[in-house]
Amino acid sequence: MNHSYDGFDEFINAWPKDQENIKQALLELKSHAETLEGLKGEYVCRPGVSDSLRFNPLEPREGRDRPVMVMIDTVSFEGQRFLSVCFYGEEIKDPDELGDEIPEGLFNETGYCFDLEGDEPDMTPYLKERITEAWKSSKKD
């Protein structure tokens, strides 16, 4: 596996104690992505904007030239943290219609994003399924 998580431990260790459910969801999504073969993961801190975990296949399918497969942003707003988990729209399906299409929202392409704001126990397994789906769509066969 090829991961670059410089600064991630410090970010996690500074997590507000009253928001453990969002932290747990983030760690579960990260762990799930790490189980998928051939993904590169990296942590990107954009102060004042977000802290991101980004995953992309080391060997993408032919013709795929994109910087991420999934981007898991942690956003702070008025002292509360939430996750915004974004994919490219055509690489996943949303059978339960829980996400939102964001034109030019993912590196100037149409993104499809899911927000996880609190105690939503069904959302983490649903997002794990979307991560697996995006992985299958983006990697070389």
Pick the CATH number of 2-138 from 3.90.660, 3.30.1460, 3.40.1350, 1.10.20: 3.30.1460
pLDDT tens digits, residue range 66-120? 999 999 999 998 889 999 999 999 999 999 999 999 998 899 999 999 999 987 8
Question: How far is the C-alpha of 35 from the C-alpha of 4, rounded, in Å?
Answer: 15
Q: Residue 55: helix, strand or coil by DSSP?
A: strand
Element (H, E) at 128: helix 123-138
- What is the spatial distance between Cα 70 and Cα 24, in angstroms, rounded to a whole number? 18
**What is the pTM (predicted TM-score) of this model?**
0.94
Distance CA 12, CA 35 (A): 20
| Every domain of the chain and the residues it spans | 2-138
DSSP category for residue 139: B
